[in-house]
A and B are shown apart, each in its own frame.
Chain A
Amino acid sequence: MEWHWKKQRQAARVHSGTDCLVCSGPWTVLELAGVEQAFQNLRVPGRGAVRVELSTVTGLDSAGALLLYDLCCRLERDGRRVSLSGMNPAAEALFALIGRHAPPPHPVRHGRAQGGLEGLGRQGVGLLVQGAGFMSFVGQTAVTASAVLAGPRRARWAPFWTNLAASGYRALPIVGLLAFLLGVVIAYQGGVQLQLYGANMYIADLVGLAMLRELAPLIAAVIVAGRTGSAYTAEIGTMKVNEEIDALRTMGIDPIEQLVLPKLAALVVTLPLLTVWADMMGLFGGIVISNAVLGISPAVFMERVGESVSLSSYLIGIGKAPVFAAIIAGVGCFQGFRVADSAESVGRQTTVSVVQAIFLVIVVDALFSILFSETGL
């Protein structure tokens, strides 16, 4: 069992002669690769009994013993009698043990290949099942929520406040920064075009309307989906892996009431507030660029925004936020409950949660646009 990495490591070896095999070197798992590769093509000339000489083997572990066992089995299948010589008692004991437990040589199994049509079908059914699951989850949440609304003393305030701080207050810097940069980009790109026509003034209309009505709610929702929706999934998913969800149930605590409602409520409150914050920072970005590049003073810019952006546009922007929040929190929690019992599953459902939340937010935003243009708002 002598080993040292500074010495040149020796490899296990095997040589065949007439009616004999000579094994040498360390027959241990780390040095065995060469012998194992040569194994398939190893032939022992002659037809009589084979003597396997092991006196020059410097170490034998269970991997080496297993390979030796395989070798003996193969020779015996070929009708040769095998005798081992030169083994010390410890090696003999190990070899006997391996012989008692050795599984048959493992054929390399390949999973059945899935046809394209089968894959499509499985995916489709999977989506339907998931959709039905989501509907039932939404229903359960609604029932629990109405029970809590009817008896507000059941509401769980502590997790609500924690979630409020985590999903709202701590998201302020990143939401503010990105909204500001978005304002800068729109003002800059739009400003260059408007300047060509001498229509500098309209930059306020452009930035104001685009930010307040569409982009601020959207950017806030996308950031919150990536930041908070994923956290919801990972949190609930990890709790599920640890059987904490089952623990809640056995204590008679409804997981939806304890975990989902505070998160949902917190997000429904914070996302509109974050949207207002994004509105402000976006306009600020627009003001900075308009002032620097187009020479429009902040006062003039704001006056112009007041004239061009109607109150209804502003409220539509903010009004979309609670809907987005419900989607993000709903998908986040739902995917958390879908986690199966592995760490990998937590990661997979978290990814799914973010992708689905952002997808649904954009789809719903498009539906809102159609709805509002049809109703003339």
Chain B
Amino acid sequence: MSAEVVVDVREVTTYYGKRRVHERLSLRVYRGEIFAIVGGSGSGKTTLMREMALLQRPTAGKVVVLGHDAYALSERESLALRRHVGVLFQHGALFSDRTVAQNVAVPLHEHTTLSRAFIEQLAALKIALTGLTPEAGDLYPAQLSGGMTKRAGLARAIALDPELLFLDEPVSGLDPLSADALDNLVLHLRTSLGLTVVMVTHDMDSLWRIADRVVLLGEARVLAEGTMKQLAASTDPAVRAFFHSPRSRAAQQAWIRA
């Protein structure tokens, strides 16, 4: 592939105390793709995503984000880089004392000198783009359903039009309809806003439907990497165990039928 590399993880090693999470792990994410990280519980998926999203320094190794060595930057440079990165946290992480619209406006107020009226309009636009009704903008996070919380979190994550968007378990805890709708939304935003998306997920349906490329983590390294078709055809027992469970096969059937 000759496409531009957006995230380059080079030989990253992570330890929590004595527990080894990643050992000399390397992978690359290319511009415009939807890249999924999968693996069993405790395989370090979320840790890896946090390292790619400038939230956690790995024990050793390098993470290059948008061409900059993410953990060798000054405060100021790191701040500038963060403006081009959006994160949707697993539970939304919306600020509970602000409405949805105010939540979306937080990064805009912080990083731009746009007028208040325009920021409000822009926040309303992002809310509309994520498929929420305009009324949802005036609700507080505690008043939102699970699906609305994810959408509101997504609206805040894309507030500054990031080039790179991280999604931590975007469809976990959603009913199948909302999950499908969110998958479509991610696809739609990727094309229309030109995003590169890195997501951690367990959801086989999502993987089949929207992931361009998938890495399977296990034993502190990348067990397999490729499209879902390639991974499903793999003969490696560890990979087969993951992608040939009854759930995975049902998801594959659903995708083939669709």
Whether A33 and B114, one on each chain, are in contact in the complex, defined by CB atoms closer than 8 angstroms, is yes
- The answer to whether B41 has its CB under 8 Å from any CB of chain A is no
Whether B124 and A36, one on each chain, are in contact in the complex, defined by CB atoms closer than 8 angstroms, is no
> What residues of B have a CB within 8 angstroms of the CB of A36 in the complex?
114-115, 118
- The answer to whether B235 has its CB under 8 Å from any CB of chain A is no
- The answer to whether B33 has its CB under 8 Å from any CB of chain A is no
0/1 interface trace, chain B 103-114, chain A, CB 8 Å (1 if under): 000001001111
0/1 interface trace, chain A 86-104, chain B, CB 8 Å (1 if under): 0000100110011001111
Q: How far is the CB of A38 from chain B (nearest CB, A)?
A: 11
Q: How far is the CB of B143 from chain A (nearest CB, A)?
A: 9
If A63-B161, A106-B121 touch, whether A33 touches B84 (CB-CB below 8 Å) is: no
- The answer to whether B205 has its CB under 8 Å from any CB of chain A is no
Interface residues of A (CB under 8 A from B): 1, 3, 5, 28-30, 32-33, 36-37, 61-63, 66-67, 70, 90, 93-94, 97-98, 101-108, 241, 340-345
List 18 additional A-B contacts (Cβ < 8 Å) besides A29-B122, A36-B114. Answer: A29-B160, A30-B112, A33-B112, A36-B118, A61-B193, A62-B122, A62-B125, A63-B114, A93-B192, A94-B192, A101-B125, A103-B125, A104-B121, A105-B121, A107-B117, A340-B142, A342-B97, A344-B97
Kindly identify which residue among A30, A102, A345 contacts B125, using a CB–CB cutoff of 8 Å.
A102
Kindly identify which residue among B83, B84, B97, B160 contacts A343, using a CB–CB cutoff of 8 Å.
B97
Tell me the complex Cα distance, A335–B97, Å: 18
> What residues of A have a CB within 8 angstroms of the CB of B124 in the complex?
103, 106
Whether A1 and B114, one on each chain, are in contact in the complex, defined by CB atoms closer than 8 angstroms, is no
> What residues of A have a CB within 8 angstroms of the CB of B83 in the complex?
30
Tell me the complex Cα distance, A1–B76, Å: 20
Q: How far is the CB of B32 from chain A (nearest CB, A)?
A: 11
Whether B117 and A106, one on each chain, are in contact in the complex, defined by CB atoms closer than 8 angstroms, is yes
Report 9 cross-chain contacts, Cβ distance below 8 Å, ordered by A residue: A29-B112, A62-B193, A66-B122, A93-B192, A103-B134, A104-B121, A106-B120, A106-B121, A342-B141
> What residues of B have a CB within 8 angstroms of the CB of A67 in the complex?
118
Whether A101 and B161, one on each chain, are in contact in the complex, defined by CB atoms closer than 8 angstroms, is no
- The answer to whether B128 has its CB under 8 Å from any CB of chain A is yes
Q: How far is the CB of B150 from chain A (nearest CB, A)?
A: 18
> What residues of A have a CB within 8 angstroms of the CB of B158 in the complex?
62
Tell me the complex Cα distance, A3–B129, Å: 25
If A5-B80, A61-B193 touch, whether A28 touches B112 (CB-CB below 8 Å) is: no
Q: How far is the CB of B114 from chain A (nearest CB, A)?
A: 5
> What residues of A have a CB within 8 angstroms of the CB of B141 in the complex?
342
**In the complex, how many residue pairs between chain A and chain B have their CB atoms under 8 Å apart?**
94
- The answer to whether B240 has its CB under 8 Å from any CB of chain A is no
Whether A1 and B194, one on each chain, are in contact in the complex, defined by CB atoms closer than 8 angstroms, is yes
Nearest B residue to A343 via CB reads: B96
Whether B125 and A66, one on each chain, are in contact in the complex, defined by CB atoms closer than 8 angstroms, is yes
Tell me the complex Cα distance, A30–B108, Å: 9
- With most chain B CB atoms within 10 A of its CB, the pick from A28, A103, A105, A341 is A103
Kindly identify which residue among A32, A104, A342 contacts B142, using a CB–CB cutoff of 8 Å.
A342
- The secondary-structure label for the interface of chain A is helix
- With most chain A CB atoms within 10 A of its CB, the pick from B116, B142, B158, B161 is B161
Whether B114 and A344, one on each chain, are in contact in the complex, defined by CB atoms closer than 8 angstroms, is no
Q: How far is the CB of B66 from chain A (nearest CB, A)?
A: 8
> What residues of B have a CB within 8 angstroms of the CB of A33 in the complex?
112-114
Whether A3 and B160, one on each chain, are in contact in the complex, defined by CB atoms closer than 8 angstroms, is no
If A33-B114, A107-B117 touch, whether A90 touches B194 (CB-CB below 8 Å) is: yes
Kindly identify which residue among B97, B115, B128, B160 contacts A101, using a CB–CB cutoff of 8 Å.
B128
Q: How far is the CB of B72 from chain A (nearest CB, A)?
A: 14
If A343-B97, A344-B97 touch, whether A32 touches B112 (CB-CB below 8 Å) is: yes
Kindly identify which residue among A30, A102, A104, A105 contacts B160, using a CB–CB cutoff of 8 Å.
A30
- The answer to whether B219 has its CB under 8 Å from any CB of chain A is no
Tell me the complex Cα distance, A290–B234, Å: 86
0/1 interface trace, chain B 174-199, chain A, CB 8 Å (1 if under): 00000000000000000111100000
Tell me the complex Cα distance, A108–B120, Å: 8
Tell me the complex Cα distance, A61–B76, Å: 23
Whether B193 and A108, one on each chain, are in contact in the complex, defined by CB atoms closer than 8 angstroms, is no
Q: How far is the CB of A352 from chain B (nearest CB, A)?
A: 16
0/1 interface trace, chain B 125-151, chain A, CB 8 Å (1 if under): 110110000100000111000000000
Nearest B residue to A64 via CB reads: B161
- The answer to whether B163 has its CB under 8 Å from any CB of chain A is yes
Nearest A residue to B113 via CB reads: A33
Lowest 6 A-B CB distances belong to which pairs?
A342-B96, A344-B97, A106-B120, A341-B142, A103-B124, A61-B161
> What residues of B have a CB within 8 angstroms of the CB of A106 in the complex?
117-118, 120-121, 124
> What residues of B have a CB within 8 angstroms of the CB of A5 in the complex?
76-77, 80
Nearest A residue to B130 via CB reads: A101
> What residues of A have a CB within 8 angstroms of the CB of B76 in the complex?
5
Q: How far is the CB of B68 from chain A (nearest CB, A)?
A: 9
Tell me the complex Cα distance, A33–B84, Å: 17
- With most chain A CB atoms within 10 A of its CB, the pick from B83, B126, B134, B192 is B192
> What residues of B have a CB within 8 angstroms of the CB of A107 in the complex?
117
> What residues of B have a CB within 8 angstroms of the CB of A343 in the complex?
95-97
Tell me the complex Cα distance, A132–B192, Å: 56
Q: How far is the CB of A21 from chain B (nearest CB, A)?
A: 18
Q: How far is the CB of B123 from chain A (nearest CB, A)?
A: 8
Whether B111 and A30, one on each chain, are in contact in the complex, defined by CB atoms closer than 8 angstroms, is yes
If A28-B161, A97-B192 touch, whether A105 touches B115 (CB-CB below 8 Å) is: no
Tell me the complex Cα distance, A50–B116, Å: 28
Whether A103 and B129, one on each chain, are in contact in the complex, defined by CB atoms closer than 8 angstroms, is no
> What residues of B have a CB within 8 angstroms of the CB of A108 in the complex?
116-117, 120
